[in-house]
Structure formats: C-alpha cells, structure tokens
Amino acid sequence: MENRYQAFLLKYAEIGVKGKNRYVFEEALEKQVRIHLRRTDAEFEVRRINGRIYCEALSGYDYDRVISELKKIFGVVGICPVNHVPDKSIEGIKAAAVKFVGENYPDKNFTFKVDTRRANKAYPKTSMEVDADVGEALLDAYPEMKVDVHKPEVLIHIELREQIFLYSKIIKGAGGLPLGTNGRALLLLSGGFDSPVAGYMVSRRGVYLDAVYFNAPPYTSDRAKQKVIDLARVLSSYTGSIRLHIINFTEIQMAIYERCPHDELTIIMRRYMMRIAEAIANDSKECLGLVTGESIGQVASQTLRSLFTTDEAVSIPVYRPLIGFDKQDIIDKAEEIGTADISVLPFEDCCTIFVAKHPVTKPRLNVIKDSEEKLSDISGELINRALASDEAMDIW
Ligand code: ATP
Ligand code: MG
C-alpha cells in the first residue's frame, strides 16, 4: 500500500508545564499512543523526540483509521501528518516542499509562511536561511502564492533532525491529559445522552473509569441493558477497558414504591443508587469518586436542592462534569464522541417506569429522611442483596 505520509507527529501541551511529573505524563501518553496504533492493524515505530511523539509507519496503513484512533488519545492536542524529505540538501528540501504543495494544495491562491525548526545544530544552513530558500522556491514554482509572515493561511513546517520532516496540516486532537495520570472513578452509567458524555469528560482528564448500571428486570428489558453495554464499549475506545457492574435494582424500587410517598420516589431511588455506587467504589479500593451526568435544573431530580439531597446520602466525592451544560451542548458532544446513536434508542431505563407524575422539585432533606425511615428495617439487607446481584464484566 502506498501512503502519502510516512509518519505522524503528535503535539501535546499541558504536559509541558507539569514540572517533575512531566516524565510520568509522557510515559503514560506514549503507552496510550502504542495501544491505539495497535488497533489500526498497521505497524508503527513510536518514539519521543523533544516534547513530541513521533509515529513512523513501518507498514502500509489506512489513513482514516489511523487519524480516528489518534483523535481518541487524551493528551494529544494536535496530529500532524508528516512527509520525510529523502534528500537532506537544501536543493532536496526545496524540491520536496514544491512537490508537497503541488500535491496537497490544488488551489495555490493562498498566503503562506515557512517555519523551520533546526533541532540538528549541525545542519549547514540556519533556520532563517532555510525559510528564505524554501519560500523563494515555492514562489518561483507557484506565482499565485503569497508570503504573509504575520497571519499566513498555510504554515509550512520544516523540522531539521536526523531526518527532515515536512508538514502543514495540524488536525485537532482530543486534548485533556493522558489516561492513567489521575487514578480511577466510578461512572453511574444509564442509557441516556448525559452519563456517557460525563464519563468521557472526566476520563479526558486522565482518569480511568469503572461503571455501574442499575437495571430493573422485568420492568426493564435486556435491550436496555445491551444498550448500556454498547455505550460502555464506545466509551472504552477512549477510556480504555471499563469494568461495568450491573446491579439488580428491582427489589429496592419495589420497596420504595410500596412504602414511600410517590412524589419522592425518584429522589429516594437516586439516594440508593449513590449508596450502592459508593459501596462498589470503596470495594474496588481504587475509585476515588463517583461521576454522574446531571446538570442543574435539567429535570426535577437535578435542581440544586435535589442534588444537595442526593449528595447527602454518601460521603465519597461526586463529580458532575455536565453541571453547567445545556441539553443541546450535551447532545452535540454525544454526537462528536459517537454515543448519541446509541443513546437515542428508545429503550426504557429503570427510572422511567417508576417516575411520579409530579415529582418533588424541592425535596427537604428531613422530609426525605423521614420517608426513608419507613425502609429502615430492610434497608441494609436490600443494599446487600443488590450488591450481591452484581454481574460485573470488563468492556473494551
Ligand atoms: P442520562 O442521560 O445519563 O440517562 P438523565 O438525564 O436521564 O441522565 P437522570 O435519570 O436524572 O438523568 O439520572 C441522572 C444521573 O444518574 C445519570 O446521568 C446517571 O449518571 C445516573 N443514573 C440514572 N439512572 C441510572 C441507572 N439506571 N443506572 C446507572 N446510573 C443511573
Ligand atoms: Mg436517564
């Protein structure tokens, strides 16, 4: 297979400012790059050079597949497809640049600037001389092109190293921080749009994920469960393997339904979900927080007072990365990361069946606690049985 680019140069930003941790971050990033490139079925040599990661193709590859994998790596801010310049003389660089522009820019009516980095200090010309020589060669070859040193439309990068690289395209990466640099958290994953996006946002800051889904058979179907598994699979293409806990929540829901006021069902259910999630997180010894997809005011159970009441049930930190997002922003993000097509499927999750017509929007903590008292004789037992029902699976 013939590929136009011999390599991909990956740029990262935030890592640069992390002082002593820099080494840890770069190691973690390099590891992720290798994992993702392995999924492309092509062979690459990955190495770190001066604050970038350089991936050289050793075999043919599928360009779209490689780019799609590289865009999933947290910590990468830019992906540059690179051409090698085989003849390292200045004449060779000029010829390569002319060919490069010829092939990549059919319409030559644009402004440009050449930007040379001279990492190889033994190169016989200075970077400014190379800029000038290559710029002149391009203007000679393509008179429609114009130089603009301040705001060029196209920046042609030349890097003088043991090899010489030529590139102009910088594809936006996922940003964030490399996986494995910030521990692990437990995502409460339901079938909707919100929680997968919430998991993505937290993981993007370098956090590995476990997940928990509460299902309520026979009120919720196997298809609803499969939907959550499918969502976890899409997420795992960014976050790495996810341990998904599936908890049978039916008995708890029924007990709440029988004993508690119906307008408080949702909020009490949410408190039980949090308690069980906290127990799973503590049991794993690694998860240092819970993650949910709530945003202020989106539904009755997400008013500030509801969130206050929900949080009171647990002492582990609860992270809500979508707290200030509008629904449309969340859906847009879900589309971008590829979970929207699954989230849109109409299978009920456990909460839609037991929802009251008029749920409380301003639950008073003491009122909710009084209602929960009605479950006090069975509460511990219910939680233990739910935990024992855990069907855990590793998704990747
Ligand atoms: P989503 O789009 O994630 O389903 P939602 O808008 O439906 O969220 P709620 O049903 O109020 O909102 O749930 C709020 C959050 O609680 C969800 O984002 C999710 O983190 C968690 N959650 C709700 N139901 C479940 C469930 N059955 N299993 C696991 N987590 C759940
Ligand atoms: Mg939901």
The CATH code of domain 184-395 reads 3.40.50.620
Q: Is the CB of 213 under 6 A from ligand 1?
A: yes
Which token pair is 175?
């940003």
Helical segments of 204-315, H only: 222-239, 250-259, 265-284, 304-311
Q: Is the CB of 299 under 6 A from ligand 1?
A: yes
Q: 346 vs 147, 217, 221, 368, CA distance in Å?
A: 55, 17, 11, 31
For ligand 1, atom 24: residue with the closest CA: 190
Question: Phi, psi at residue 25, to the nearest 5°?
Answer: -65, -45
DSSP per-residue letters across 129-195: HHHHHHHHHHHHH-TT-EE-SSS-SEEEEEEESSSEEEE---EE---SB-TTSS-EEEEE--SSSHH
Question: Which overall architecture, per CATH, does domain 7-172 show?
Answer: 2-Layer Sandwich (3.30)
pLDDT tens-digit readout, 285-303: 899 999 999 999 887 778 9
Distance in angstroms (rounded) separating the CA atoms of residues 122 and 249: 68
- How many angstroms is it from 188 CA to the middle of ligand 2? 10
User: pTM of whole model > 0.85?
Assistant: yes
Residue (of 275, 352, 347, 257) closest to 312 by Cα position:
275
- Helix %, strand %, coil % for the chain, to 5? 45, 20, 35
Site to probe by mutation for ligand 1, drawn from 187, 193, 194 as the one with most ligand atoms within 8 Å of Cβ, is: 194
Q: Give the number of whichever ligand sits closest to the CA of residue 193.
A: 1
pLDDT at 361 > cutoff 90: no
Q: 266 vs 231, 242, 275, 352, CA distance in Å?
A: 23, 27, 14, 9
pLDDT tens-digit readout, 311-356: 999 999 999 999 999 999 999 999 999 999 999 998 776 556 677 7
Distance in angstroms (rounded) separating the CA atoms of residues 52 and 181: 18
Residue (of 163, 184, 197) closest to 292 by Cα position:
197
Which token pair is 287?
């998860």
Q: What is the residue-averaged pLDDT of the chain?
A: 94
pLDDT tens-digit readout, 242-266: 999 999 999 999 999 999 999 999 9
Q: Is the CB of 214 under 6 A from ligand 1?
A: yes
For ligand 1, atom 6: residue with the closest CA: 194
pLDDT tens-digit readout, 2-61: 688 999 999 998 655 567 778 889 999 999 999 999 999 999 999 998 889 999 999 999
Distance in angstroms (rounded) separating the CA atoms of residues 244 and 139: 58
Cβ count near 253 (within 10 Å):
22
Distance in angstroms (rounded) separating the CA atoms of residues 389 and 204: 31
Q: Is the CB of 306 under 6 A from ligand 1?
A: no
Distance in angstroms (rounded) separating the CA atoms of residues 174 and 79: 10
Q: 332 vs 166, 197, 302, 337, 345, CA distance in Å?
A: 34, 10, 20, 9, 16
Q: What's the rounded mean pLDDT across residues 85-109?
A: 95
Q: Tell me the residue type at 343.
A: S
The domains of the chain are located at 7-172, 184-395
Q: What's the rounded mean pLDDT across residues 148-162?
A: 95
- Judge contact between 79 and 168, C-beta under 8 A: no
Residue (of 207, 234, 180) closest to 72 by Cα position:
234
Q: How high is the pLDDT of residue 1?
A: 47
